[in-house]
Amino acid sequence: MTDTSCGSIAIVGAPNAGKSTLVNALVGQKVAIVSSKVQTTRTRLIGIATEGSAQLLLIDTPGIFAPRRRLDRAMVRAAWEGAEGADLIAFVVDAKTGFRDDATAILESLIHRPEPKLLVLNKVDITAKTRLLDLAAHANSLAAFRDTYFVSANTGDGVAELKGALAAAMPPGPWHFPEDQLTDATTRLMAAEITREQIYNQLHAELPYSSAVETEKWEERRDGSIAIHQQILVERDSQRAIVLGKSGNRLKEIGSTARAGISELTGKKVHLFLHVKVKEDWTEDRAVYRDSGLDWVD
């Protein structure tokens, strides 16, 4: 194709702002996991969208917050690295919660960043109009946003307009990915993410934050099905018991929902084997960082 354009858009914001939901809405298919809990996304993932002759590389990033653990620091670093050198930064704000600590701190950091910026006020479906206008005025008085968009990543309201604007802002150049590719993530990583999404959806309190999912074995069988062995890492014995649930029922439920999701992702019949392993210090294990696409931070 001639006259194509292609560029990167870093989607940054506080935890739970709806960044991953927005990336999925822009791509038109689910590539990133979503949950009602904060800190769902742990590393950068590119969602690839096309609009006319433009290819949009949407960099979904972990929410930016005041980090404490090594894992948190690695996540926040991954988010800011995603923004570095992007053609555009889209700052996504949960309009319902507005500028609380995390969003305010990000807004302040954005003031000095050289990349062009857009303000995206998300969750308009649950926010009053007057509040939206107040938030837009507040943010624009502090940082130089090229434009402000009001969207609902959930209902799709305003998403087409935002997508058109993103496409128009992309620099001319060849596409970076084949036209049918939707993400840079490997199928293996996406499968592990689907299981992690169920941990976020089905387990509560500290458990999601104390766990990780690793792929142990991935075997394509002759009958066209795939046998996948994944390991759920937790930090303590008591957490292992919670993941298993009574008579192993919780783990079964996580497994059956994840299996359906992975089957949909791969278009194949999937046999999913989940093992729960206690590894007290997995958040201090370099291999886990590498497998989940995070850099080790000292």
Ligand X SMILES: Nc1nc2c(ncn2[C@@H]2O[C@H](COP(=O)(O)OP(=O)(O)OP(=O)(O)O)[C@@H](O)[C@H]2O)c(=O)[nH]1
Binding site for ligand X (CB under 6 A): 13, 15-21, 34-36, 38-41, 62-63, 122-123, 125-126, 152-154
Selection from ligand X, Mg ion, none that 125 binds (CB < 5 to 8 A by kind) is ligand X
Q: Shortest Cβ contact with ligand X: which residue?
A: 63
Is the CB of 5 or the CB of 202 nearer to ligand X?
202
Is the CB of 193 or the CB of 214 nearer to Mg ion?
193
Is the CB of 22 or the CB of 170 nearer to ligand X?
22
Find the binding residues for Mg ion in span 27-66 (CB under 5 A).
Answer: 40-41
Is the CB of 63 or the CB of 261 nearer to ligand X?
63
In the complex, least distance from residue 167 CB atom to ligand X, rounded to whole angstroms = 21
Is the separation of the CB atoms in 126 and 96 below 8 Å?
yes
Closest CA to 58 of 108, 14, 10: 10
Is the CB of 200 or the CB of 270 nearer to ligand X?
200
Residue 87 vs residues 82, 168, 279, 293: alpha-carbon distances, Å: 11, 12, 40, 22
Phi, psi dihedrals of residue 171, rounded to the nearest 5° = -70, 150
Cα dihedral value 73, 45, 190, 297, nearest 10: -20
Distance CA 33, CA 236 (A): 25
Provide CB contacts within 8 A for 73, sequence distance 6+.
67, 297
In the complex, least distance from residue 45 CB atom to Mg ion, rounded to whole angstroms = 9
Count, residues near Mg ion per rule CB under 5 A: 4
Count of all residues that appear for the chain in the document: 298
Selection from Mg ion, ligand X, none that 17 binds (CB < 5 to 8 A by kind) is ligand X
Closest CA to 209 of 9, 35, 6, 17: 35
In the complex, least distance from residue 175 CB atom to ligand X, rounded to whole angstroms = 25
In the complex, least distance from residue 266 CB atom to ligand X, rounded to whole angstroms = 23
Is the CB of 125 or the CB of 184 nearer to ligand X?
125
Report if residue 122 touches Mg ion, rule: CB under 5 A: no
Is the separation of the CB atoms in 110 and 33 below 8 Å?
no
Closest CA to 17 of 82, 65, 49: 65
Residues near Mg ion (CB under 5 A): 19-20, 40-41
